[in-house]
Amino acid sequence: MVLKNPTEYEKGKTIVFFVRHGDRGNLDENDLIRPGPGLTEKGFQQAKDVANKFSKIKREIDAIYSSDMKRAVQTAEIMSKKINKKIKIIHDFSEVDRILEKGHKISLKYLRAHLKFKRAIKKLDEILDKEKGKVIIIVAHGRIIKSILGNKLKIGIKKGNAFSYHNCHISKIRFKGKKLNYINYFNSQELIH
User: Most distant CA pair in the chain: distance in Å?
Assistant: 50
Confidence of residue 154 (pLDDT cuts 50, 70, 90): confident
> Which range has the worst mean pLDDT, 37-41, 122-126, 163-167?
163-167
With a cut of 60, say whether residue 110 has pLDDT above it: no
Q: What was the pLDDT predicted at 111?
A: 53
Q: In what order do the strands lie in the sheet with 63-67?
A: 87-90, 63-67, 135-140, 14-20, 170-176, 179-188
With a cut of 60, say whether residue 100 has pLDDT above it: no
With a cut of 70, say whether residue 129 has pLDDT above it: yes
Whole-number Cα distances in Å, 47 to 29, 71, 80:
26, 10, 11
Mean pLDDT, range 148-162, rounded to an integer: 80
**Residue ranges per domain, the chain?**
14-24+37-188
Give 79's contacts (C-beta < 8 A, 6+ positions apart). 19, 47, 50, 51, 54, 64, 137, 139
With a cut of 60, say whether residue 98 has pLDDT above it: no
pTM, 2 dp:
0.86
Q: What was the pLDDT predicted at 36?
A: 80
Helix, strand, coil: what percent of the chain each, to 5?
40, 20, 40
The predicted-structure confidence for 15-60, as pLDDT tens digits, reads as follows 999 999 999 887 665 555 557 888 999 999 999 999 999 999 999 9
With a cut of 60, say whether residue 108 has pLDDT above it: no
Which CATH number applies to 14-24+37-188?
Answer: 3.40.50.1240
Q: What is the mean pLDDT of the chain?
A: 84
Spell 149-169 as b/e; 16+ CB within 10 A means b. Answer: bbbbeeeebeebeebebebbb
Q: Which is more confident, 30 or 133?
A: 133
